Amino acid sequence: MIGFQEAHAPRLYKALAAHERQTTVKKWVYVPYDQLNTSLGPVCELAPSETGLILIESLAKGKRRPYHQQKLALILCNQRHFALEQAQIGYRIHYAMTADSYANTLQQIYKVTGQIHMMEAAEYELRKELEPLIQEGVIRLHPNETWLTQEADFDAGTKGKRPWRMDLFYQYLRRKTNILMENGKPVGGKYSLDGENRKPWKGTPPAPQLPRFQPDPIALEAKALIEKVFHNHIGTIDLNHLPCTQAHAETLWRWVQDECLVNFGPYEDAMSTQSKTLFHSCLSPLINLNRLLPRKIINDVLALDLPLSSKEGFIRQVLGWREFMRHVHRKTHGFRRLDEQEWSSEVSPCAKWGHPRPAHSTSDGGSLINALDYQTPLPEAFWGKESGLNCLDHVVNQVMETGFTHHIPRLMVLANIATLLEIQPREITDWFWVSFIDAYDWVVEPNVLGMGTYATGPLFTTKPYIAGSNYINKMSDFCKECAFHPKKTCPITRLYWAFLERHKSKFKSNFRLSMILRTLDKRSPDNKAIDAFTFEQVRRQLSNAQSLTPESLTRQPVETK
């Protein structure tokens, strides 16, 4: 057993010991932090009494990046409760707490348990770290059954053609699974009802209140450890809003079905200062840990009596987007290798965040793909320094506080502004990775490098998702409290035009941008000069950690002699 565990989690170890039974384990299975489910894979091949589960808390992993404290709490609380829940059912638990890597720890455990089984890891970083153990036969790998689709589905759905298209992949899955299909045709006549799901929210119907959870001693112990060992990480821990047990996960899922889904579709794109999450499910933290299996979510949603726009809209997210993103990441090794070209950064995450690189670290700095060559360093505004743009400040504050926002603030505020400012893609990706409680490489990297910033070019998105202040004003109430007027002074619209002007040669044959490029052509030279000035000014001021004001962005008339 590895050293200091009892000292770090005496309650956990005492509770585990209370359930320990002397059984003969025939199969030891390593359950990574994000596979917290015993209904599939090698863990359910034998009776619980014949199966041992290995769980590891690696402080080295926690320190690899300054992850939000709420994310660490989410993972530790769920993993600890999962271990206890399985011990109660009869599984033997080997719970290792270590300062070492997963690979070295498993190597040690193997000496005691012999052959270890596991399902393929979702994260590239963990797959890479465990590769040598798989080659040596220490670990026997099984397919990861938590996913709904195989690589063959991705190939068949996208026909292997680039840009890989989510809509084609999703349509293929609908036909293959017969989900929301009638006589071979999509129910409602269309595969996607996205076009109907764009209502702003003006306060009604009332937004549901997130359920609260009562913290127990196991969760409090994990919180205390995080506050001691990871005190310099961003954010704070709010256990009242942290589902930690299987029962909590089910309560949250019940709440989503009862309170959120009916209005999910129509208000999917809306944002508000009055509700942090509106009708979104907030399930990604638990789905990504597999506390809630996507399969169950989809089956339950299909059984509900819901408007089609909500039912289809929600299923598209889980069956379509989530699976698609995972395949894109896996196929490209996290965008490190594309068309024989290497994009890996050798700078380890530890070095990037100013820590010494541990001797056992196998992680590189991820992909440096940067199709449009953005070079702006990440401004302090993303860490909570006021930018003067109410939308950005409001959303950043929420992320710093909770480690969460729903999809549209991520895409249309954070990633949109980052793209318009040409923030270096690796920097903004790493910011999302450490700031969000549901971030893992397989999901955060395609969402930020691809969908959010277009750093992957036309690999799987046909155009950048960018917008001016009109969109933000229409879909939210952020502009009401802002010093900038959305139609007159807000710099975001000028940043948008300036972006298109700078990159228009790369988009000239892009059919989806042709109309907007024609409008760009009609902009007067004066307007274009102010667009370019605004871009330089905003970039300079935010890079100097200065807050923007309408006055600071006013161009002084050029003196003529």
Which residues would be at the binding site for ligand FAD (CB under 6 A)?
A: 280-284, 287-288, 317-318, 321-322, 325, 406-407, 410-411, 415, 432, 436, 438-439, 443-444, 447-448, 451-452
Which lies closer to ligand FAD via its Cβ, residue 248 or residue 322? Answer: 322
We find the least distance from the C-beta atom of residue 493 to ligand FAD, in angstroms, to be: 21
Hey, is 95 helix, strand or coil?
strand
Which lies closer to ligand FAD via its Cβ, residue 38 or residue 197? Answer: 197
We find the least distance from the C-beta atom of residue 318 to ligand FAD, in angstroms, to be: 5
We find the least distance from the C-beta atom of residue 215 to ligand FAD, in angstroms, to be: 22
We find the least distance from the C-beta atom of residue 440 to ligand FAD, in angstroms, to be: 7
User: Which amino acid, residue 259?
Assistant: E
Which lies closer to ligand FAD via its Cβ, residue 48 or residue 266? Answer: 266
We find the least distance from the C-beta atom of residue 31 to ligand FAD, in angstroms, to be: 20
Residues of 400-437 as b/e, b for ≥16 C-beta within 10 angstroms? bebbbbbbbbbbbbbbbbbbbbbbbbbbbbbbbbbbbb
CA distances from 186 to 134, 156, 191, 320 (A): 43, 19, 5, 15
We find the least distance from the C-beta atom of residue 315 to ligand FAD, in angstroms, to be: 9
Q: How many Å apart are CA 461 and CA 245, to the nearest integer? A: 37
Cβ burial of 384 (10 Å; 0-12, 13-18, 19+) is middle
Which lies closer to ligand FAD via its Cβ, residue 148 or residue 222? Answer: 148
With contact defined as beta carbons under 8 Å apart, do 287 and 318 qualify? Answer: yes
Which lies closer to ligand FAD via its Cβ, residue 281 or residue 370? Answer: 281
We find the least distance from the C-beta atom of residue 136 to ligand FAD, in angstroms, to be: 32
Which lies closer to ligand FAD via its Cβ, residue 42 or residue 366? Answer: 366
Name the token pair of 391. 């939308």
We find the least distance from the C-beta atom of residue 13 to ligand FAD, in angstroms, to be: 31
CA distances from 328 to 163, 336, 428, 461, 542 (A): 11, 12, 19, 11, 33
Q: How many Å apart are CA 496 and CA 504, to the nearest integer? A: 12
CA distances from 34 to 3, 41, 71 (A): 24, 14, 12
We find the least distance from the C-beta atom of residue 251 to ligand FAD, in angstroms, to be: 15
With contact defined as beta carbons under 8 Å apart, do 160 and 140 qualify? Answer: no
Which lies closer to ligand FAD via its Cβ, residue 218 or residue 399? Answer: 399
Number of neighbours of residue 559 by Cβ within 10 angstroms: 5
Which lies closer to ligand FAD via its Cβ, residue 149 or residue 541? Answer: 149
With contact defined as beta carbons under 8 Å apart, do 320 and 191 qualify? Answer: no
Which lies closer to ligand FAD via its Cβ, residue 320 or residue 388? Answer: 320
Which lies closer to ligand FAD via its Cβ, residue 194 or residue 501? Answer: 194
Which lies closer to ligand FAD via its Cβ, residue 453 or residue 469? Answer: 453
Which lies closer to ligand FAD via its Cβ, residue 423 or residue 548? Answer: 423
We find the least distance from the C-beta atom of residue 152 to ligand FAD, in angstroms, to be: 20
We find the least distance from the C-beta atom of residue 308 to ligand FAD, in angstroms, to be: 17
Hey, is 40 helix, strand or coil?
coil
We find the least distance from the C-beta atom of residue 397 to ligand FAD, in angstroms, to be: 17
Q: How many Å apart are CA 335 and CA 329, to the nearest integer? A: 7
Does an H or E element contain 435, and which?
helix 425-435
Which lies closer to ligand FAD via its Cβ, residue 119 or residue 411? Answer: 411
Q: How many Å apart are CA 200 and CA 192, to the nearest integer? A: 19
Find the Cα–Cα–Cα–Cα dihedral 343, 346, 351, 356, rounded to 10°: 150
We find the least distance from the C-beta atom of residue 410 to ligand FAD, in angstroms, to be: 4
Name the token pair of 560. 């003529």
Q: How many Å apart are CA 325 and CA 329, to the nearest integer? A: 6
Helix axes 124-136, 102-113, angle to 10 degrees: 40
Q: In the Cβ-directed half-sphere of 37, how many Cα atoms lie within 13 Å?
A: 22
Name the token pair of 157. 């759905």
We find the least distance from the C-beta atom of residue 262 to ligand FAD, in angstroms, to be: 13
Contacts of 303 (CB under 8 A, 6+ apart): none
Contacts of 18 (CB under 8 A, 6+ apart): none
